[in-house]
Amino acid sequence: MSRKAIRLGSLCLNDVDLHEAVSWTVDRVSTGPAVRIYTANIQHLVDVEQDQELRNAFADVDQCLCDGQGLFWLAHLAGTPLRERVTGVDLAHHLLVDPRMRGLRVTFVGAKPAEVDDLLSDLRGRYQMVHWLPPHHGYFEGDAWVPVIAHVARQAPDIVFAALGSPKQELWARAAATGVTRGALITVGGALHVLAGHVPRAPHWVQRVGLEWAFRTLLEPRRLGPRYVRNACRALPIAFRVLRTRGGA
């Protein structure tokens, strides 16, 4: 797979399509060492500027994919267009239905303690080709990272979905990569709830025109509306700097 990277601020995005991302991941799940795949959006563009630990995590990640529409648009405006968005939902779904994944071991870390069993049950019902391992909820603090990593590592998974929200999922995946000897650790945010059927996804035509974020805002206006506005405002100075650098090149 092409390793061409496109830099936007402090983020480097791999210019790959969904097929390439899936194939690259499948090729590495049964070999060592463990690899990390991050799915980035505008919030990450902002946060890596202000958080050195998070910036380090993104600096040495194995693949950084463009999940967010805002990043996709910014790359185009900067004159370095990406071939396509590769979302955490799409990557996870296509991995779980890929015939090469049959019988492989999959788990996740995330969700509320009371939700984990139902989430696992629904994922097992929808994605029966893989072997689902006992997951761990996402409500733990830094002092519990080591036992959570040990819980995951003991099961020898091929795929670990980190669904913890940012920046926790990126930092946890980086730490876990030292304890999980092989396979792939993939940050997916809230994608598992979509895959399990708990949260609806935007219609395909909405995704195609780049308005999936608007659909999500309509579903959860109080939670996502302020977040999207805040992230957009914080991202503007970085976007202007990216575009000014392009103009001066």
Q: Which amino acid is at 17?
A: D
* Number of alpha carbons in the 13 Å side-chain half-sphere of residue 162: 27
Q: Look at residue 143 in the predicted model and tell me its pLDDT.
A: 83
pLDDT 10s digits, 13-62: 999 999 999 999 999 997 778 999 999 999 999 999 999 999 999 999 99
pLDDT at 249 over 50: no
Query: What is the residue range of 132's domain?
Result: 5-248
> Domain count of the chain?
1
For position 2, what pLDDT does the model report? 46
Statement: residue 80 has pLDDT above 60: yes
Amino acid at 213: W
Supply the DSSP symbol for 136: B
For residue 142, name the pLDDT band (cuts at 50, 70, 90): confident
Model confidence over 195-232: pLDDT tens digits?
999 999 999 999 999 999 999 999 999 998 998 899 88
Structure tokens at 111: 């969700």
* CA distance linking residue 43 with residue 234, whole number of Å: 9
Strands (E), 9-119: 11-14, 35-40, 63-66, 105-110
pLDDT tens-digit profile of 175-193?
999 999 899 999 999 999 9
Instruction: Provide the CA 101 distance to its chain's centre, in angstroms.
Output: 19
pTM: 0.94
Given a cut of 60, is residue 108 above it in pLDDT? yes
- As a residue count, the chain comes to 249
Report whether pLDDT(5) > 90. no
Backbone angles phi, psi at 229, to 5 degrees: -65, -45
In this prediction, residue 150 carries a pLDDT of 96
pLDDT band at 247 (very low <50, low <70, confident <90, very high): low
113 in Cβ contact with 139 (< 8 Å): yes
Contact predicate 140/148, CB 8 Å: yes
